[in-house]
Amino acid sequence: MILLRHGQSHFNAAFNRTRIDPEIPDAPLTETGQAQALAAASRLAGRGLRRIVSSPYTRALQTASIVAEMLELPITIDPLVGERAALSCDIGTPTRELALAWPALDLSHLPERWWPELEEPETALRVRAEEFRTLMAGTDDRHAVLVVSHWGFIRALTGREVTNCEIVAYDWTAHDGDR
């Protein structure tokens, strides 16, 4: 399993300058973020990926869509890999609106409101990360899956803090019974 943090969003760009929440719910990618996603797709080519699992947040969907188009991979959506709800960017977009923006994606399994309440406790995020890890451990293709996610989720799963579009190979050997 390879983890990819989404590209730079408008929220990231503003927050990184000021350290103040700019109040941008479900922020889309900036042009820089789109370029980061293209560069990540190039770095991921040839790694034997078979599919993408993406968070339903717009910035992750945009990143996943760019990578999927370049690498010709299918995308499935899983709110388990969403961000820890703590700031305005962690307020999601209702499923019916996402379906209009991404008509080719199957969103039928998502409730209309799929994101957690603000402020999601760290313990709840760790439970989600462990649930996803356990689900993936039971799949035959876990070594060929790209997960497009977020800083908080990747940190909960790996202990690493990552930058926009940073690629992290998940270490399955660190978990007993997953080999």
Q: What is the mean pLDDT of the segment spanning 9-13?
A: 97
Q: Which CATH number fits domain 2-173: 3.30.390.10, 1.20.140.10, 3.30.2130.30, 3.40.50.1240?
A: 3.40.50.1240
Nearest CA to 11 out of 62, 67, 69, 87 is that of 87
Instruction: Give the model confidence (pLDDT) of 150-170 as tens digits.
Output: 999 999 999 999 999 999 999
pLDDT at 175: 64
Percent of the chain having pLDDT more than 70?
97
Q: State which amino acid sits at residue 59.
A: R
pLDDT at 178: 44
Instruction: Give the model confidence (pLDDT) of 57-103 as tens digits.
Output: 999 999 999 999 999 999 999 999 999 999 999 999 999 999 999 99
Instruction: Give the model confidence (pLDDT) of 117-146 as tens digits.
Output: 888 999 999 999 999 999 999 999 999 999
Question: What is the phi-psi region of residue 136: left when phi exceeds 0, alpha when psi lies from -120 to 50, beta otherwise?
Answer: alpha
Length of the chain: 179
Instruction: Give the model confidence (pLDDT) of 31-50 as tens digits.
Output: 999 999 999 999 999 999 99
